[in-house]
A and B are shown apart, each in its own frame.
Chain A
């Protein structure tokens, strides 16, 4: 018997606590599959965000460190500088990275730290009950924008990948999505390229992943994938936003 698909070794056997249809489960698995394929499970260290994925240390079968809200890139910088032979990644949501942790990620990218950021963008604060995030779309209903997000009041959503791509130190920036199987496979390729960028010592890499939050969007999991495709992708274009010349030969 040939195994076509099974649980990657870089995930523990613990059942995930996420809501039904949440994209976190898919993204956890993709990161774990990449760690397995690169054979780096024994030398990988991840950092957990504050948000729904705060207990990701229970699920990843690698060393993990919990960081204060948004400070994952700063913590990861410290880990990588002390242990330069390890592979260090930060796993962050949009409330964590794009709001309270915006400073840390911008400066980590500007310094060209040899870390990889997995940035999960679901356009809402999940754990705290569906408040507006900096990435919430215009017109989107959340508990703090009950009449829809308005440009005059709350400003426009932040395109984090494009913004970080302007920095010299960031060498690989991509935006992917997990709303269907094709894009799930593309996302995995981007995560692998980001990890390889770090392994080759080229600079800072980030993969922004558009994900769903069916519970707080008020949709069924299948409807949520359609909402993502219809509303988020037009505003957040997919693809490799920045591939610096140094990274082009990789993968």
Chain B
């Protein structure tokens, strides 16, 4: 079980995370944040493996990832 916390107020909608996700699970929201950018959204929480490649490409530290340990 992966918990992905999106700090959407930090997001500038650059799309680098979307281009990086190996499973194409990220998209752009249709709601703007307070900066006026369209932030990132996770489409399918169940499919995310928590590989954190998106977070490593994010220049604005929007994505935080925690994993449930069995």
Contact = CB atoms under 8 A, between A and B. Distances in A.
Interface of A: 1-7, 11, 15-16, 18-26, 29, 180-181, 184-185, 214, 220-222, 225
B19 A222 contact: yes
Contacts of B64: 3, 5-7
A225 B17 CA distance: 12
A4 B50 contact: yes
Contacts of A26: 56-59
A20 B14 contact: yes
Given A21-B15, A181-B53, A3 B66 contact: yes
B31 interface: no
B59 A4 contact: no
14 contacts: A1-B66, A1-B68, A4-B55, A5-B64, A5-B65, A15-B10, A19-B12, A20-B37, A21-B12, A26-B58, A26-B59, A184-B57, A221-B14, A222-B14
B56 A5 contact: yes
Given A4-B50, A16-B61, A19-B12, 20 more contacts: A4-B2, A5-B63, A5-B64, A6-B66, A7-B61, A15-B9, A15-B60, A18-B60, A21-B59, A23-B59, A24-B59, A25-B59, A26-B56, A26-B58, A29-B61, A181-B53, A181-B56, A185-B56, A221-B15, A222-B19
- Counting contact residues on chain B (CB < 8 A from A), the size range is 20 to 34
B20 A181 contact: yes
Contacts of A214: 14
B14 A21 contact: yes
Given A15-B10, A20-B37, A21-B15, A4 B66 contact: yes
A163 B14 CA distance: 34
A2 B57 contact: no
A209 to B, nearest CB: 13
Chain A interface helix/strand/loop/mixed? mixed
B35 to A, nearest CB: 8
B25 interface: no
A19 B13 CA distance: 10
Contacts of A24: 59
Nearest to A18: B59
A7 B50 CA distance: 16
Interface in B1-56: 2-3, 9-10, 12-16, 19-20, 37, 50, 52-53, 55-56
B34 to A, nearest CB: 11
Given A222-B19, A225-B16, A180 B59 contact: no
A4 B61 contact: no
A38 B37 CA distance: 35
Nearest to B59: A25
Contacts of A20: 12-14, 37
